[in-house]
A and B are shown apart, each in its own frame.
Chain A
Amino acid sequence: MATKTSDKKKKSNKKIFVPNIVAFACNWCSYAGADNAGTSRIQYSPNFRVIRTMCSGRVTPGFVLKALKMGADGVLVSGCHFGDCHYIFGNYKAVEQFDKTKAMIKTLGLEEGRIRLEWVSAAEGPRWGQVIDEFVEQITKLGPSPLNNKPKYEN
């Protein structure tokens, strides 16, 4: 995990922002995908925390907003591919909920890039790593969220 980024190493020049990301992963596909990435020893960014939900359709705007409220710089919602959902139509619900979240984020004045919806299956370990890497890069470019009171930096 992100042990490299201790506060002792802080220096005034050339600070690089280290984003803090929350990833909601569904129990059946994405969480297993993340597991797969681990067992396959895929190297990818450690700046995120996974929260397992039973289905991506359960991730309502409240979940994402709470993560942002508590200082997350980005939130990833991840579920099964269309047609693969364990509950048949859960990921269609996820899209509905995500659209609402997106609209609220926009009204709040946060960048839309701070939240992202992705589909990762249980067999796509490398893809999970790739998605996380891309997202971390995207959030690093956006900088710390205005709601993050203690943004982390490393040299």
Chain B
Amino acid sequence: METTVEKLKQNRAFLCLECGKCTAVCPISIYNKNYSPRRMLADGVFYDAKDLISDKLLWSCLTCQLCSQRCPVDVKFSEYIRDIREEASKQGKTGTPSHSGALLYLMEMAASPKLKQNRNDWINDKLKVKKKGDVLYFVGCLPYYQDFFAKDFDFSPISIAQDTVKILNHLGIEPVVMNNERCCGHDLYWLGQLEKFDELGKLNLEMIKETGAKTIITSCPECALVLKQLYKERLGADGFQVKHITEVVFENIDKLKFKNLDTKVSFQDPCRLGRFMGIYDQPRDSLKAIPGLEINEMQHNRRGAICCGTTNWTNCDAVSKQIQKSRLNEAKNAGAETVVTACPKCQIHFRCSECGDESQRININITDFVNIIASAIDG
């Protein structure tokens, strides 16, 4: 690689102490002994990442930043992996896409400027939305998840979007929803396909400008991360403020009246919401405002929360399943009846792990933060 030294410096790789805390804490290393973030970093520092670049394990990294959280010198391992992936994808190498790559192809298709999508079928008469206004609701991939996962996993991803609009309407906000909204490009960014990411970003920013929105609300932590930080870093996006729905609910918690909901829940911190954006208390405090609801923390929570097992629709394997099972078991052991997460992807992955052999199921409910808030709203 030509730019190795520069990129390694950017990612603080030369500061590595070789203490191995990253490997000790990595959720993949626990189940796959061949996977070692420490060795992967050493490969980049000493050998120009020659082996790593053609290694299939390169695509297994969850980019969950649990290693960076533990690292004493703050090596940016996720960013390092992204840079190596960028180089690898230039050489035509990819990971193993899950779901036959359907969701990755959708992202690439969304970058085609001529495409005119038809995403707003989920808006019913009870929901109030506008075409232009100050507040934009960025829906993300939910309409596609509805088409793809609803039947297999017996849940309705689009209900997350519907309930988000319901909550916003309840707070007196009529959000703008774009019918031709593009994929935010989050997964392409972490897979190192930055050109496609930029194309998507430019299309999205143009559309956002047209709506005249000053605040963007998302129900997906990945979209929030992209709109909040990555578009700003790469494309110089400016002029709007981005909030995840957990922040919006927390800010307006006094305006919402909840009915009693006798249940015990565990909160699964999505990595993009927690470690990337530092939102830990807002969802918890919002859930605590519901009378009767009790939060039982899992063994690994907040900064130490473990990822849902797979990201970027790539390299989903037996290790991912084991991570998911152990995560759900943690919640069950904490005495929770329901796992609440704020990321649609976490929910899909957990539900997938509950799909298999009946004797191996954990039997725990999985729901989204938005769904539980909407069901508790009085009136």
Residues of A within 8 A of B (CB): 60-63, 65-66, 68-69, 96, 100, 103-104, 106-109, 146-147
A43 to B200, CA, bound (A): 44
Q: Nearest CB to that of A105 among chain B residues?
A: B147
Known: A65-B102, A65-B109, A104-B102. Is A146-B147 also a contact (CB below 8 A)?
no
Is B255 interfacial (CB-CB < 8 Å)? no
Q: In whole Å, how far is A142's beta carbon from the nearest beta carbon of chain B? A: 14
Interface size, B (range) = 20 to 34
Establish whether residues A107 and B115, one from each chain, have CB atoms under 8 Å apart when the complex forms.
no
Q: Which residues of B contact A103 (CB under 8 A)?
A: 146-148
Interfacial chain B residues near A69, Cβ < 8 Å: 105, 108-109
A146 to chain B, nearest CB (A): 4
Complex interface: stretch among B1-9, B63-71, B93-101: B93-101
Whether B143 is near chain A, meaning CB under 8 Å from some CB there, is yes
Which residues of the partner chain B approach A108 to less than 8 Å between Cβ atoms?
106, 109, 115, 117-118
Whether A107 pairs with B147 at a CB distance below 8 angstroms is yes
**B147–A66 contact, CB under 8 A?**
no
Find B100's partner among A62, A68, A107, A109 (CB 8 Å cutoff). A62
Q: Contacts A100-B151, A147-B112, A147-B114 known; A107 to B119 CB distance under 8 Å?
A: yes
Assuming A100-B151, A104-B144, is B116 touching A65 (CB within 8 A)? no
18 intermolecular pairs with C-beta atoms under 8 Å apart: A60-B100, A62-B97, A62-B105, A66-B101, A66-B105, A68-B105, A68-B109, A69-B105, A96-B151, A100-B148, A104-B106, A104-B147, A106-B118, A108-B109, A108-B118, A109-B116, A109-B180, A147-B112
Inter-chain CA distance A100–B119, complex, in Å, is 15
Residues from chain B with Cβ under 8 Å of A107 in the complex: 117-119, 121, 143-144, 147
Enumerate chain A residues within 8 angstroms of B106, measured Cβ to Cβ. Answer: 65, 104, 108
* Prevailing SS type, chain B contact patch: helix
Q: A62-B99, A108-B115 are in contact. List 12 more A-B contacts (CB 8 A).
A: A60-B100, A62-B97, A62-B105, A63-B100, A66-B105, A96-B151, A100-B148, A104-B106, A104-B144, A107-B143, A109-B116, A147-B115
How many whole Å from B173's CB to the nearest CB in chain A?
25
**CB closest chain-A residue, reference B149:** A100
Question: With a CB–CB cut-off of 8 A, which chain A residues contact B143?
Answer: 107
- B144 CB to nearest A CB, Å: 6
B101:A62 contact, CB within 8 angstroms = yes
Whole-angstrom distance between the Cβ of A121 and the nearest chain B Cβ: 26
Provide the bound-state CA to CA distance between A89 and B99, in Å: 20
Residues of B within 8 A of A65 (CB): 101-102, 105-106, 109
Which A residue's beta carbon lies closest to that of B101?
A62
| 7 A-B pairs with the lowest CB-CB distances in the bound complex, closest first | A62-B100, A103-B147, A62-B102, A146-B114, A65-B105, A109-B117, A61-B102
Complex CA–CA separation, A60 to B99 (angstroms) = 8
- Minimum C-beta distance from A40 to chain B (A): 34
B99 pairs with A146, CB closer than 8 A:
no
Interface of chain B residues 270 through 294 with chain A (CB within 8 A): none
Q: A62-B97, A62-B101, A107-B117 are in contact. Are A100 and B147 (CB under 8 A)?
A: yes
The A-contacting residues of B in range 126-163, CB under 8 angstroms, are 143-144, 146-148, 151
Chain A residues within an 8 Å CB radius of B109: 65, 68-69, 108, 147
Give the residues in chain A near B147, CB-CB below 8 Å.
Answer: 100, 103-104, 106-107
The complex places the Cα of A106 from the Cα of B147 at a distance, in Å, of 10
